[in-house]
Amino acid sequence: MLAVKWLPTLVLFVLALIPASGYAEPESLRVATRIIRPFVFEEGGRLTGFSIDLWQEISAQLNVQTEFIVKGTLRELLDATLNDEADVGIAAISITEERERDWDFSHPMFDAGLQILIPQEGEGGDLGSLAGSLFNARFLPLVIFVIVGALLAGHIVWLFERKRTDGFLNSPNYFPGIFESTFWATTTLATQAEGWPKSAVARVVSVFWMFVAVLFVAIFTAAVTSELTVQKLRSEIQGPEDLPGKIVATVRNSTSARYLSANAIHTTEFNSVEEAIQALEKGDPDAIVFDAPVLQYYASHEGTGKVQVVGPVFRKEAYGIQFPKDSRWRKVVNEALLRLRENGTYDRLLVKWFGGEGGKGGR
Ligand code: GLU
């Protein structure tokens, strides 16, 4: 019969029309991220870094394709999964109780925490900033008093000395004479004057002026000493207990920003840690508080010789992969994460990016 003869062909034809799930086009996931070294880098238009490598391994396990969406700020990154712009968020996102309310997170994928970055020490007092802080409004009255005093002492001495042939001035005329006597008053102030007036009134004025000079030098020395101490105290940040009273930079909306405001520490916030570091290197803030692995990576790479990490990791945190609430991807991503830990891939990535110690050391 014709139908029987053609039946196998017909069956094959029908089967070919049904898409077999094993051969289906892999699904594509929209993955939001942001540049935060060494977790996410952009190198020659390509993304790389610990978190990117880890995600590539996970997506291979899940047999999905990835479309990365790079966000500029932490807020934009977090919101991408909230606004259905992305299915997944991965970078250096800390799992917090507050975020757990609005998002779901994978198992922890990296142990991090907060630490402090300060400018490299050992340059001694900065003369420029010392001069700046001495010649400010506080010392202006003292400086004016001394200038007026020197002019006044100069004038009195000139007045009584100019007529004397045995006087210590070379010229009786006003300008050369005043110049000489004021020069004399100024050198009396700083060191020791050459010459000594001969007239009685000028001598009395001289003694009085020398007394003022001693006082001035004492006050000035005390001011320089206390200013140097203040500068030294400002640079003496050894751990989080030294932060109150200092100006601290960090990244807007980060867990560090939360920590600093909860501890009432004077904070300047930036959109990225790079901007905070630029400000630190210019000397604006006294320190940066941010994610320990990020600060350590910078200090041991581009920042060598310029900045240093101080104190312990004082608040432990874990990074996670972020999902919208009730995402169907969370469970499979967790399974893939566990598989990568069990088969050694995770450790290989740690060694590649952190020299083996997660969160400590460099590539
Ligand atoms: N780990 C920090 C946080 O989640 C900083 C992340 C970032 O700046 O990208 O708040």
Q: Which atom of ligand 1 is nearest to the CA of 91?
A: 9
pTM to 2 decimals? Answer: 0.67
Split the chain (363 residues) into runs of 10 and give each run's mean pLDDT.
62 55 75 98 94 98 97 98 97 97 97 96 60 68 84 87 80 85 82 76 84 82 77 78 95 98 96 96 94 97 94 96 97 98 97 71 36
Taking the CA atoms of 20, 21, 26 and 29 in sequence, report the sign of the dihedral they define: positive
List C-alpha distances in Å: 233 to 55, 309, 344: 44, 17, 47
d(C-alpha 90, C-alpha 51), whole Å: 7
Closest CA to 31 of 97, 106, 100: 106
Give pLDDT, residue 359: 44
Q: Which atom of ligand 1 is nearest to the CA of 36?
A: 9
Q: How far is the CA of 323 from the centre of ligand 1 (A)?
A: 16
Question: For 102, what's the count of Cα atoms within 13 Å in the CB-facing half-sphere?
Answer: 9
Q: Which atom of ligand 1 is nearest to the CA of 317?
A: 1
Let me know: does 37 contact 323? Beta carbons within 8 Å.
no
Q: How far is the CA of 138 from the centre of ligand 1 (A)?
A: 42
Give pLDDT, residue 134: 65
List C-alpha distances in Å: 312 to 109, 124, 328: 21, 24, 38
Q: How far is the CA of 255 from the centre of ligand 1 (A)?
A: 6
